[in-house]
Chains A and B, each alone.
Chain A
Amino acid sequence: MAIKKFAVATYTDEAVLFPAVKKVRKSGYKLHDVYTPFAVHGLDVAAGHKTTDLHIAGFIYGICGTSTAVGFISWVYTADWPQNYGGKPHFALPAWIPITFELTVLFAAVGMVLTFCYLNQIMPGVKKHVFHPRQSDDTFVVAIELPESASEKEALDFLKSTGAGETNIQVAEASWWYGRFDKTEPYELAAAGK
């Protein structure tokens, strides 16, 4: 939870966006994020994102699901409430495999979705600052984080030089929050050209 100052630029062409993102990273400005209306191949590499470790989390959730299933079922059928089902042994492992498998998949799937939401700070009902209303329509939006000491004019000129369309300075909440846009985000200062 931190309110920060951003320099925001819009682009309409992938061929301009890629070199611009690379220039931003080279210039020493801190790239906050790039917003695109659709998945752009290779942009994650250009923006400097590492390969995700989400699947390792998935593996751990899966193991949790497996042990939950085997632990719970074996406790029920051998310790808590042992019964004779068709002469099978109380520890009837083959019969439990399907449920163990399902729980493994369920834990891994739900856990990975939630982790994905957390890592990307998205969730139904949870708000995040929108830098440009058309970032989900037809415009690529690049936001760079400005420290207090940085010159706003210099940053905007730099973004202009990379081929940006609109540029402006916004002071906004950097991470996600729970609540309403109108009540909780009075910070947005459309300070274009300032």
Chain B
Amino acid sequence: MSSEQGHQPKTLITGVIGSDTHIVGNRILSMALEQAGYKVVSLGALTPAQDFVKAAVETAADAILVSSLYGQGELDCRGFRELCIEAGLADILIYVGGNLVVGKQSWPDVEQRFLAMGFDRAFPPGTRTADVLDALAHDFATRPRKAGA
């Protein structure tokens, strides 16, 4: 529809999923995204999975960036892509990052598990904000323009 062309900034949803109160890293990420020119809808800590999706529907978001720092990410993120599909956002870009699992597990295994859940990218602990910005720029440039919105 009309305004999709042109210089409308991309809209990103950020937040910390589940019963997780670790907000600092997510805030730093949100600030970096805003400085890079994105429109950021930041949902903050303790955000249920469905609230990410509802916010994305209403704001016609281009991507959802889910943070999880307390080791329960795998449990909280299960079915996230399915929720998006259910809400008509089958093709939305979704990232996840943080301390996604407990204990010492090899990152490639963890990453694989989250990609299998339907996340487009998973980021290990210690990721720099610049890496996320690069990934977004790359993915937005290469993915087909989403329909609707």
State whether these chains interact. no
